[in-house]
Amino acid sequence: MKNGNNSSSGNSFNNTPGRPGTPRLPQRKFWLIILLVLAVNYLATQWFLPGADQAVPVPYTTFKEQVTKGNVQSIHSQGQLIQGQFNSPVSLPSDESTTRQTTAEPPRNVTAFSTVVPDFADPGLESFLANHNVTISASPIQTGSSLTNLLFGFGPVLLIIFFYVWLYRRASKQAGGALGGGMFGLGKSKARRYDHEQDKKITFEDVAGIDEAENELVEIVDFLKNPKKYTALGATAPRGILLVGAPGTGKTLLAKAVAGEAQVPFFSMSGSEFVEMIVGVGAARVRDLFKQAREHAPSIIFIDEIDSIGRARGQAVLGGASEQEQTLNQILTEMDGFSGKEEVIVLAATNQPEILDKALLRAGRFDRRVVVNLPDKIGREAILQVHTRNKPLAQDADLMEVAATTPGLSGADIKNLCNEAALLAAKRGQQEVHLKDFIDSLEKIILGPERPIVLSPADRERIAYHESGHAILGLVVPGADPVNRVSIVPRGQALGVTYQRPPADRYNYPEAYLRARIIGMLGGRAAEEIVYGTKTTGAENDIEQATDLAHNMVTRWGMSEKLGMVKLAARQNQYLGMGQRQLDAVSEQTAALVDEEVHKIINDSHEQAKQLLRDHRQQLDALVTALLERETLDEHEILDVTGLPPAPALKDLPNQAKL
Ligand SMILES: Nc1ncnc2c1ncn2[C@@H]1O[C@H](COP(=O)(O)OP(=O)(O)OP(=O)(O)O)[C@@H](O)[C@H]1O
Ligand SMILES: [Zn+2]
């Protein structure tokens, strides 16, 4: 089962408007240069070794024949090679005259010839030639002027050097950076500067649904606008502000909005861009980045993904350790170097604040922390409004309704959703975006696009039972989140989906609710078991989620009577969602007890799931029949087909009765 508690998908936002022109060797130009070098090489050869090419190779025997006839005027010997002139042209059949030309050609008349003296050639060759009045000259094997030698010697080396430069540039281009000044620009920061005249100005208008974070930054904007107001009172500006939040919650957007509101230049760079393979480069880039920002003060520096360099020292990933530490040290040095009157403010973003080096968080550095939360329902509606500004919405496209259906989505996800909905509307040939377009796109965003796989009727039925199992339990277990969609269309990893969403955003989860969820999660397998009596692999994801939840109940939330309120596992990264389940250091006995308690929760829930489904077998079958026919059912259709009322809310239960 997949349900509404989705994780936000990575944001694909990529706002890199016209980077300031950086000189780069285009590929075409590079090939032109290579061609030119080759041409020069060729011409030089032609120039310094004239005739080398006109000379027609002849067999040694032919050469001796001609000498005997007295037809050889002169020869020039270089090693084994003899080049020379015949007195009168010699007609050679084409196949003999040259080894290079194989096609039948008319006989050629040859005056300039060349031949190679075999190693075993007769020692009397010299007197033989002299007897036939041949002028003999010779040159050492290494010939040509020093310039030719230079060209021959260094040509290939030059080529190789060119090749490496080209490779290097290509690599750095692929790394996403524009290296100003080639090899020597390594230490230059690749910071992108956004100027508000050039780029569409981003202001707080464009940021919605994260008001608390926004409010904390309003003060910074004021400082950048009227620094005197603060410095006159002896107040120093905050130097570093750490924006902490899940991916896609709008941290980058906020930083840009601060710059946009304050009308100051914005220098942005991602932590991972600092760290190159060459040690020392990261630090140099940091220096350069801060230098640029100081030159343009008041200004804002934004370092995205600071965790990739700010990881606690000594704990860095193998390999990049010393480079990462140097880069981090440089950032610390630069920030300490601020006099306090400098109007440069450093914003940094991370979604793993707990792994940051403590030194980064000390006073005078990133001592302020602004938490950017996932938007709540009202926030989501506001973000939807921002991103549908330029889209024609149909009457029925109730953004409040869309917001209610999208718990857990980040700002970036919502932006994506708006775009997908508009695309879908266009694909459907509509003039306006309807509610249905949003709902249908949502499924694609959460689960991935439809997968065109062909399932056998038996498999389809099994999947229908699995999903219906989840759905029926979502209807009959008190406290379960309402089921608002069931589908057996394969998408992404899932072969089917039951989508449940809480009626309101939840911040605190009663135990009964968690148990209801576990029962629902196990409903897929339970349905398969009671109908077919056999098991398949289809419940892997359900089992994983249920186990995680049960484990958390026992080890973090004190929901096991046997273990009581003892913290047994570390809190998971709240911005990245579930991590590995891991116990704190506990005794073997306790660990065994944890396992036992987790098993108990799962087994009890499993039994209840099976019992409830047996009790509602009729409704289960009805839902399966409808699903096989229609593939996807929405909330109303589900209630209609099963004739069941929505699950009672927990508050209607006496004492949150144990399920
Ligand atoms: N609160 C919001 N209001 C309006 N739009 C938002 C909001 N949050 C995110 N977006 C949209 O999503 C895009 C991506 O968000 P942004 O890059 O700022 O997220 P981020 O938190 O920096 O993500 P990451 O941690 O992945 O870098 C923004 O450009 C914006 O269009
Ligand atoms: Zn399932």
Condensed to tens digits (0 to 9), the pLDDT of residues 452-468 reads 788 889 999 999 999 99
How many CB atoms lie under 10 A from the CB of residue 193? 16
Asked if residue 604 lies in contact with residue 519, where contact means CB atoms within 8 angstroms, the answer is no
Q: Which pLDDT tens digit goes with each residue over 8-19?
A: 333 322 333 333
Q: Do 429 and 333 share a structural domain? A: no
CATH code assigned at 624: 1.20.58.760
Q: Looking at residue 360, what is its pLDDT? A: 80
List Cβ<8 Å contacts ≥24 apart for 562-571: 562/593, 562/596, 562/597, 563/590, 563/593, 563/594, 563/597, 568/594
Per-residue three-class SS string for 101-128: CCCCCCCEEEEEEEEECCCCCCCCHHHH
Q: Do 136 and 72 share a structural domain? A: yes
Q: Looking at residue 653, what is its pLDDT? A: 46
Pocket of ligand 1 (CB under 6 A): 11, 13, 207-210, 245, 247-253, 304, 349, 351, 383, 386, 411-412, 415
Q: Looking at residue 628, what is its pLDDT? A: 93
Q: Is the pLDDT at 292 greater than 80, yes or no?
A: yes
Task: Please identify which of the residues 467, 528, 529, 597 carries the catalytic annotation.
Answer: 467
Q: Looking at residue 95, what is its pLDDT? A: 52
Q: Is the pLDDT at 118 greater than 60, yes or no?
A: yes
18 annotated to a ligand binding site: no
Q: Do 229 and 253 share a structural domain? A: yes
Cα 415 to middle of ligand 1, angstroms: 8
Q: Looking at residue 622, what is its pLDDT? A: 94
Ligand 1 atom index nearest CA of 253: 18
Of 7, 9, 13, best ligand 1 pocket probe by most atoms within 8 Å of the beta carbon: 13
Ligand 1 atom index nearest CA of 412: 12
Residue 33 placed within a domain: yes
Q: Looking at residue 23, what is its pLDDT? A: 37
How many CB atoms lie under 10 A from the CB of residue 16? 9
Report the range out of 104-108, 136-140, 214-218 with the highest average pLDDT.
Answer: 214-218
Q: Do 421 and 529 share a structural domain? A: no
Q: Looking at residue 277, what is its pLDDT? A: 55
Q: Do 270 and 403 share a structural domain? A: no
Tell me phi and psi for residue 186, to 5 degrees.
-55, -40
Ligand nearest to the CA of 414: 1
- % of the chain at pLDDT higher than 90: 17
- CA 173 to CA 432: how far, in whole Å? 41
- CA 76 to CA 58: how far, in whole Å? 15
pTM over 0.80? The answer is: no
Report the range out of 49-63, 79-93, 315-329, 542-556 with the highest average pLDDT.
Answer: 542-556
List Cβ<8 Å contacts ≥24 apart for 130-133: 132/67, 132/68, 132/70, 132/72, 133/70
Cα 295 to middle of ligand 1, angstroms: 28
Q: Do 484 and 360 share a structural domain? A: no
- CA 585 to CA 598: how far, in whole Å? 18
Alpha helix segments (H runs only) across 198-345:
211-225, 227-231, 251-262, 271-274, 281-295, 307-310, 321-336
Pick left, alpha or beta for residue 126 (phi over 0 → left; psi -120 to 50 → alpha; otherwise beta): alpha
How many CB atoms lie under 10 A from the CB of residue 617? 13
Q: Do 507 and 438 share a structural domain? A: no
- Identify the residue whose C-alpha is closest to ligand 1 atom 11: 412
Residue 412 placed within a domain: yes
Residue 422 placed within a domain: yes
Q: Is the pLDDT at 242 greater than 80, yes or no?
A: yes
Ligand nearest to the CA of 539: 2
Q: What is the DSSP string of 136-152?
A: EEE--SS-S-HHHHHHH
Q: Do 522 and 615 share a structural domain? A: yes
Q: Is the pLDDT at 469 greater than 90, yes or no?
A: yes
Cα 540 to middle of ligand 2, angstroms: 8
- CA 226 to CA 262: how far, in whole Å? 9
Asked if residue 340 lies in contact with residue 237, where contact means CB atoms within 8 angstroms, the answer is yes
Q: Which of 61-75, 147-161, 221-235, 406-420 has the lowest mean pLDDT?
A: 147-161
Residue 17 placed within a domain: no
- Identify the residue whose C-alpha is closest to ligand 1 atom 14: 412
Residues in contact with 586: Cβ distance below 8 Å, sequence separation at least 6, in sequence order: 568, 594
CATH code assigned at 262: 3.40.50.300
- CA 31 to CA 48: how far, in whole Å? 26
Ligand 1 atom index nearest CA of 209: 1
Grade residue 309 by pLDDT with cuts at 50, 70 and 90.
Answer: confident
Q: Looking at residue 179, what is its pLDDT? A: 38
Residues in contact with 206: Cβ distance below 8 Å, sequence separation at least 6, in sequence order: 253, 257, 386
Cα 253 to middle of ligand 1, angstroms: 5
- CA 304 to CA 408: how far, in whole Å? 22
- Identify the residue whose C-alpha is closest to ligand 1 atom 30: 412
Mean pLDDT of 386-395: 89
Residue 324 placed within a domain: yes
Cα 9 to middle of ligand 2, angstroms: 20
- % of the chain at pLDDT higher than 70: 78
Ligand 1 atom index nearest CA of 249: 21
Mean pLDDT of 201-219: 85
Ligand 1 atom index nearest CA of 386: 4
| Residue 632 per-residue DSSP state | E
CATH code assigned at 438: 1.10.8.60
Residue 475 placed within a domain: yes
Cα 444 to middle of ligand 1, angstroms: 20
Ligand nearest to the CA of 306: 1
Q: Do 589 and 482 share a structural domain? A: yes
- CA 416 to CA 422: how far, in whole Å? 10
Q: Which of 51-60, 78-87, 423-432, 638-647 has the lowest mean pLDDT?
A: 51-60
Q: Is the pLDDT at 585 greater than 60, yes or no?
A: yes
Q: Do 335 and 201 share a structural domain? A: yes
415 annotated to a ligand binding site: no
Domain carrying residue 418: 377-447
Cα 449 to middle of ligand 1, angstroms: 22
Q: Is the pLDDT at 431 greater than 70, yes or no?
A: yes
Residues around ion ligand 2, judged by CB within 5 A, are 1, 524, 542
Q: Which residues pair with 446 in a beta bridge?
A: none
- Identify the residue whose C-alpha is closest to ligand 1 atom 17: 252
Q: Of 298 and 194, which is predicted with more confidence?
A: 298
Q: Do 590 and 441 share a structural domain? A: no
466 annotated to a ligand binding site: yes
Mean pLDDT of 543-548: 92
Q: Looking at residue 178, what is its pLDDT? A: 37
Q: Looking at residue 452, what is its pLDDT? A: 79
Mean pLDDT of 216-238: 81
153 annotated to a ligand binding site: no
Q: Is the pLDDT at 22 greater than 80, yes or no?
A: no
Q: Looking at residue 10, what is its pLDDT? A: 31
Mean pLDDT of 499-511: 80
Residue 151 placed within a domain: yes
350 annotated to a ligand binding site: no
Grade residue 475 by pLDDT with cuts at 50, 70 and 90.
Answer: very high
What is the rounded average pLDDT for all residues in the chain? 78
Chain mean position to CA 352 = 18
Grade residue 220 by pLDDT with cuts at 50, 70 and 90.
Answer: confident
Domain end, chosen from 415, 447, 479, is at 447
Q: Which residues pair with 634 in a beta bridge?
A: 485
Examine residue 57 and say whether the peptide bond preceding it is cis (omega within 30 degrees of 0): no
Mean pLDDT of 612-625: 94
Q: Which pLDDT tens digit goes with each residue over 154-190?
A: 777 888 888 888 777 766 555 444 333 344 455 555 5
Q: Which pLDDT tens digit goes with each residue over 25-77?
A: 456 777 787 788 788 777 766 666 554 456 788 888 888 888 888 888 888 88
Residue 20 placed within a domain: no
245 annotated to a ligand binding site: yes
- Identify the residue whose C-alpha is closest to ligand 1 atom 6: 411
- CA 255 to CA 268: how far, in whole Å? 9
551 annotated to a ligand binding site: no
467 catalytic? Reply is yes
Per-residue three-class SS string for 319-353: CCHHHHHHHHHHHHHHHHCCCCCCCEEEEEEECCH
